[in-house]
Amino acid sequence: MNEPILEVQHLKTYFYLGTDMTTELRAVDDLSYTLHKGECMAIIGESGSGKSVSALSILRLVSYPPGLIVGGKILFHGQDLMEMDDEEIMKIRGSKISMIFQEPSSALNPVVTVGKQIVENLLRHTSISKEDAWKRAVELLDEVGIPNPEQRVNQYPFEFSGGMQQRSMIAMAMSCNPEILICDEPTTALDVTVQAQVLEQLDKLRETHDTALIFITHNLGVVARYADTVKIMYGGKVIEDGPTDAIFHVPHHPYTLGLIQAVPRLDLPRSHGLHTIPGEPPDMSKIPENCCAFAPRCKYATEECRTKRPQPETVGEGHHCSCFHMDLLEDERNEVVRSHG
Ligand SMILES: Nc1ncnc2c1ncn2[C@@H]1O[C@H](COP(=O)(O)OP(=O)(O)O)[C@@H](O)[C@H]1O
Ligand SMILES: [Mg+2]
């Protein structure tokens, strides 16, 4: 793969809760990765696993109290974002690194036309003239597949459908040609057809602009076709990561296997039912330091898992997994992979 643009090294973002702020919640606990130009990296995990906090940390959007980045480096082209002052980080936010949030309605200003919002972002971050910014806004809406962009540019967000709001968010996020676009569950609120269209659109943008994508979702199925690499998060940690193909075909963590089984199958009768992972995601403020956070829900768990923290081991090229019992998984894996092939 080509040059790395973002290197996250041992990132730790904790929240300090309770009246005396002594309850430590390790939302992101020792996260490391390298993102390359044009790469699409997916971060997958159930609700509360630390996906959004990991993304917000990169843009330094976690505020104290209660949140604090307590360790690690975030290198953007080798420069540590943690050491930049507010002005420098503001320049990067929205221009070089852009983020699309979960809820378009929360990010789009309801009383400003969609076009004006794109224009304002362009004027803030580039030296383009006002007239050219409006032209560019129309082009951008066209690029993300919004019909009649010349008219649409003068409309308000409420005049757009959910899918079109999502597309205009993409247009806004793409307006300054960011090097990295972070999409935090950009499609959860949308129906499946619209989800597919939005993903298709993001993928096209990646191809034409070589933008690197960090795609956050709780649904492993959504990313199968688009992601180059996948990180599976559980309880604030990456428990397995690797090339998308390896994650789907030779998963090594029982949790990853559970996520694969939870992907809906369109080719089976509905009576077949949906597999869900038993139990609940952990209360993040109550995970002991020395254990596997998944142990309470894992059928392979032993005393070792409850008293020691598994460390990442290399299980294939660029493929790592943190689990004491990955060998035991083999039979089940073969069966699941065969039936989900
Ligand atoms: N502002 C906050 N204050 C306190 N706890 C928070 C805050 N934001 C996130 N958390 C906690 O951090 C953990 C990770 O949250 P988040 O990254 O939003 O999860 P995800 O995006 O994977 O659903 C959760 O346990 C959540 O409750
Ligand atoms: Mg989230």
pLDDT in tens, 282-326: 999 999 989 999 999 999 999 999 999 999 999 999 999 999 999
Q: Are 198 and 171 in contact (CB under 8 A)?
A: no
Q: Dig out the tokens for 203 from the structure.
A: 């993928």
* pLDDT at 91 > cutoff 80: yes
DSSP state of 310: P
Whether 271 shows a pLDDT value over 60: the answer reads no
Q: Which atom of ligand 1 is nearest to the CA of 45?
A: 22
Domain 4-96+178-340 homologous superfamily, CATH: P-loop containing nucleotide triphosphate hydrolases (3.40.50.300)
The structure tokens 């972002």 sit at: 121
From 52, 58, 219, 285, mutation site for ligand 1 pocket: most ligand atoms within 8 A of C-beta: 52
**Average pLDDT in the chain:** 90
23, 53, 214, best to mutate for ligand 1 pocket (most atoms within 8 Å of CB): 53
Residues within a 6 A CB radius of ligand 1: 15, 17, 25, 27, 45, 47-53, 66-67, 284
**Residue 270: is it exposed, middle or buried by C-beta count within 10 angstroms (0-12/13-18/19+)?**
exposed
DSSP secondary structure code for residue 269 in this structure? -
Neighbours of ion ligand 2 (CB under 5 A): 52
- CA nearest ligand 1 atom 6, residue: 15
Distance CA 163, CA 143 (A): 15
- Residue 90 CB contacts under 8 Å (≥ 6 apart), including other chains: none
Q: Out of 73-82, 208-217, 303-312, 317-326, which region has the weakest mean confidence (pLDDT)?
A: 208-217
Locate the ligand 1 atom nearest the alpha carbon of residue 49 and give its number: 22
Instruction: Note the pTM of the prediction, 2 decimals.
Output: 0.92
pLDDT at residue 49 in the model = 96
Which burial class, exposed, middle or buried, applies to 44 when counting CB atoms under 10 A from its CB (0-12, 13-18, 19+)? buried
Domain spans, the chain: 4-96+178-340, 109-177
For 81-93, give one letter per residue: b (16+ CB within 10 A) or e. Answer: beebeeeebeebb
Shortest-distance Cα residue to atom 27 of ligand 1: 48
